[in-house]
Amino acid sequence: MPQTRFYLQCSGALARQAYQLLESAFEDDGFPLAVFAIDEERDLHEVSLYASETPDAVEARMKHVLAGLEGLPAIGRETLPDIDWVAHSLQGLHAVRAGRFLIHGAHEHGCKRAGEIGIEIEAGLAFGTGHHGTTAGCLEMIARLLKAERPRNALDLGTGSAVLAIAIARLARIPVLATDIDPVAVRVASWNVLLNMAGAWVKTVTAPGFHHPIFAHRKPFDLIVANILARPLMKMAPAMAHHLAPGGSLILSGILERQRRAVLAAYGAQRFRHITTYSREGWVTIHLKR
């Protein structure tokens, strides 16, 4: 039976709210639901819901569920060919190698090479699969840093799918605090942590910025990784300095190449020194120490 794809394109904050409401309303229907970043620089995200029956009724339910959200655009709709869209989408999502890490879905088990650390992240649930230049850059930087340093505890701020937290835990076998402002992301992160047998090291928490008691309890961190966006990273420079241990390392990403100097200036003002920068697909990943 042909499927209908319903979609909304809006800001990340609205997209996450819409995703939560739709997930709660349609959880018993078995309709696939996803949210993806279309253009991170413009903060444009898309929420999609796939239904194979009564499209008019489904759209009416969606409008009712989302009625309380202000600023949402009209719901788009398209009819898709009668194929297995989950399998089809996974065929195009190949495993990613970054440093010692192989990020893959369940459909690509068995492609891990000797010495690689495999991390399974399911595409339909993930807020970071390793395919974006920022995530891959962070993974490469983490692999390089952990060859030279032995941090005792780490923080993954804005964890998303928890792929970076899992990578640190699997390679260094140290406690990692993984936080995100979005409870949907934290739920996904918790699942991925268990899926990758990293529950003994990684703790996931919903927390905006550094405003949660757990930061005071777990600081100072020897390693902080934050793959967010340039502007919030610049604003958090003083808090990063406050929570990083003397001699600790900071890995920042979600930064466009043209934003690099401004970010370095903000952290230079907090007495951070630049160690190295990786560039990938127009994005940069920066290693700093203080």
pTM: 0.66
pLDDT band at 33 (very low <50, low <70, confident <90, very high): confident
Out of 3.60.15.10, 3.40.50.300, 3.40.50.150, 3.30.70.930, select the CATH number for domain 148-289. Answer: 3.40.50.150
Q: Which class does domain 3-82 fall in?
A: alpha beta
Question: How many angstroms separate the CA atoms of 195 and 23, rounded?
Answer: 21
- Cis peptide bond N-terminal to 208, omega within 30: no
What is the CA 212 to chain-centroid distance, rounded?
Answer: 20
Q: Domain ranges for the chain, please list them.
A: 3-82, 148-289
Name the pLDDT band for 6 (thresholds 50, 70, 90). Answer: very high
Task: Output 100 or 132, whichever has higher pLDDT.
Answer: 100
The span from the CA of 107 to the CA of 122, in Å, is 9
d(Cα 214, Cα 157) in Å, to the nearest integer?
A: 13
111: confidence class by pLDDT, cuts 50, 70, 90: low
Q: Which two tokens stand for residue 289?
A: 């120490």
Report, in angstroms and rounded to the nearest whole number, the Rg of the chain calculated over CA atoms.
20
Q: Name the token pair of 214.
A: 């757990």
